[in-house]
Amino acid sequence: MATGTAVAPRPAQRLSRVLQPTVVVYLALVLLLVAGSILVGVRGGVLLDQGGILNILTRSTALGLVAIGQTMVILTGKLDLSVAYLIGLCSLIGAETMAGDPGMIVPAVLLTLACAAGVGLVNGLVITKLKVNAFIATLGTALIIRGYLESAYSGPAGEVPRAFQHLGYARIGPIPVSALLMVALAALAWWYLMRTKGGYHVYAVGGDEEVARFSGIRTDRTIIKVHVLCAVAAGLAGLFLASRLGSGAPWVGVDAGYDLESIAAVVLGGTLLAGGRGGVAGTIGGVLILATLDTIFDDLGVTPFFKDVVRGAVLIVAVALYARRRGALR
């Protein structure tokens, strides 16, 4: 829907623009934490005690990992609907390769990430070389992976050694190590997007693919790269979930709806679905908001169905507010 005026602005100007929704997201998060603390407090509980913080951060980790990758893909104006099935696949590859043997951890992790990267490469190639719309391409990949999972697995498989389970459960004070790793990855992605040439290309391709190509950017390469990165991020999420569960589970990603959920988190974080604007910082805010909402509802004992209703409403309202703000800026 962007008009011709949306050609990449100067970096400084862009930074100030990008910052705005990000600030809004974190303000909303703080408000939500305050309101949640009061609501939970009224019922005699404490939202942000050690257990509460642990709960919010643990919930955020898997979704956060996926959403970081999804952010990069969405910034180029594409989508990745294959992540949910890919997470299940990766948890299985990881757990089956390890098979309870601590010595196999490193090879298993490398193999899993290589497989994930392969899937991302296929996505990227189908989108750029076969010129298939990203929605269809990744939906197709998702269905293919699902077909494989359905025919090859009937339940959890593989076994994760104890040492690897520490990754999912170890913590420093109330903060899980895995959440720290997720934040570190987010920082890395932020650095890549904001400080490197490749990152600038991502924004340029999302702003207008045609203009980017005419400006001498290899748009195909950029698009393939973000899809590979997104798939690797999903692979990491799969490994994390395998370490939490102790084995690989084919439907772990689908049951949690990580495909649509991650897109929701990215958009909630202020990234434009059409691409070109937004960033990882906002996405992490969006993920934290979703996780906090879940935790508050759990503490209040609300039925899970009501959660979905609120989540849907929050998503629509947030994006409507961003759209309004952008309309006013113009």
Task: Sketch the per residue contact string, 269 through 308, with another protein: x for CB under 8 A, - otherwise.
Answer: ----xxx---------------------------x-xxxx
- CB-wise, 135 or 191, nearer to another protein? 135
Stretches 20-28, 52-60, 258-266, 287-295: which one binds another protein (CB under 8 A)?
A: 258-266
Supply the minimum distance, in Å, between the C-beta of residue 161 and another protein. Answer: 29
Dihedral Cα 187, 188, 189, 193, nearest 10 deg: 100
Residue of 15, 46, 184, 313 that binds another protein (CB under 8 A): 313
Contact by Cβ (8 Å): 59, 320: no
Residue with tokens 């990758």: 69
Tell me the C-alpha distance between 69 and 49, whole Å: 30
Tokens of 110: 């490398």
Q: Which of 25, 93, 224, 315 binds another protein (CB under 8 A)?
A: 315
* Binding residues for another protein, total number by CB under 8 A: 54
Choice between 63 and 98, CB closer to another protein: 63
Binding mask 12-51 for another protein (x = CB under 8 A): ----------------------------------------
Please tell me the distance from the alpha carbon of residue 312 to that of residue 160, in angstroms, as a whole number.
Answer: 35
Q: Do 253 and 88 form a contact (C-beta atoms < 8 A)?
A: yes
- In DSSP notation, 265-317 reads HHHHTT--TTSSS--HHHHHHHHHHHHHHHHHHHHHT--HHHHHHHHHHHHHH
Rule CB under 8 A: choose which of 10, 151, 155, 301 binds another protein: 151
In the region spanning residues 184 to 243, those forming contacts with another protein, defined by CB under 8 A, are 208-210
Minimum distance from residue 77 beta carbon to another protein (Å): 6
Would you say 94 or 276 has its CB closer to another protein? Answer: 276
Question: Which structure tokens are listed for 322?
Answer: 């961003």
- Taking the C-alpha atoms of residue 159 and residue 110, their distance in angstroms, rounded to an integer, is 17
246 DSSP 8-state letter: S
- CA nearest to 298, candidates 64, 62, 43: 43
Could you say which residues in the range 90-149 bind another protein, by CB under 8 A? 126, 130-137, 139-144, 146-149
Q: According to CB under 8 A, which residues from 161 to 180 bind another protein?
A: none
The reply to whether 152 sits near another protein by the rule CB under 8 A is yes
Tokens 């919010």 correspond to 56
Residues of this chain that interact with another protein (CB under 8 A) are: 1, 3, 77-79, 126, 130-137, 139-144, 146-152, 208-210, 260, 263-264, 267, 273-275, 303, 305-313, 315-316, 319-320, 323-324, 327
